Amino acid sequence: MRAVSQQVSFVAVGVEVLHPVQAQETPLPRSTVRLLPFLLLQPSLSRPFPESKVFSVSGESAVIDVNGVGYEILSPLSTLAELQIKMGHETQVWVHTHVREDAMILFGFLSHQEKDFFLKLISVSGIGPKGALAILSASTPEQIALAIEQENEKLLTTLPGVGKKTARQMILDLKGKVTEFVPVVQTEEKELPKGRNTELEEALLALQALG
């Protein structure tokens, strides 16, 4: 298994290109993966990133229209809620390309900080990309990093898919490596929030209703 991460707004390396109206997560035969050329969307001289618009948003993914080409991305619920609000408008998405033998999957985030924290999470033994998305759907990088730095297993086990063993592994693997995400002003210990902010609550509920 190999993972590729890009540090620009929307770059896809060897990914399956889907027309927006036909976008779906379709596993690629191993031979197709080997033959896929590298695809790099170069920014124009007048714009720092390619023009990208939100085409559609479903229960766990969104399709981003990049100059007429649709890319399906899997994202945390908070990101999908914000993309739902931006439907039809320009946006910038930070993409991590996860490469497997049978598929290439894009994971998208609205900030490089959240994408970087996603990469930290999937570096932990026992946490895969889907599990990391579930964790980021339940809380923020700041709150999770604070719990890790405080070695607060109790709070970490409130996250989806995180038991005592995984919580201990998160602390073991990430303590001291996520200090950049810890809020400058540390408040009293409290339960990890389930939502990001009230502005996105309705969009989040709508996405959850879609499954």
- In tens, the pLDDT along 140-187 reads 999 999 999 999 999 999 999 999 999 999 999 999 999 999 987 554
**Residue partners of 144: CB distance under 8 A and separation at least 6:** 117, 135, 136, 156, 159, 178, 181, 192
Q: Output phi, psi for 105, to 5 deg.
A: -120, 135
Query: Residue 28 pLDDT > 50, yes or no?
Result: no
Whether 37 has a pLDDT exceeding 90, the answer reads no
pTM of the model as a whole: 0.69
pLDDT at 17 > cutoff 90 = no
Residue 35 has pLDDT above 70, yes or no: no
pLDDT at position 6 over 90: no
What pLDDT band is residue 22 in, cutting at 50, 70 and 90? Answer: very low
Model confidence pLDDT, tens digit, residues 40-98: 333 333 445 667 899 999 888 999 999 889 999 999 999 999 999 999 999 889 999 99
d(CA 61, CA 75): 6
Measured distance CA(34)–CA(14) in Å, rounded: 9
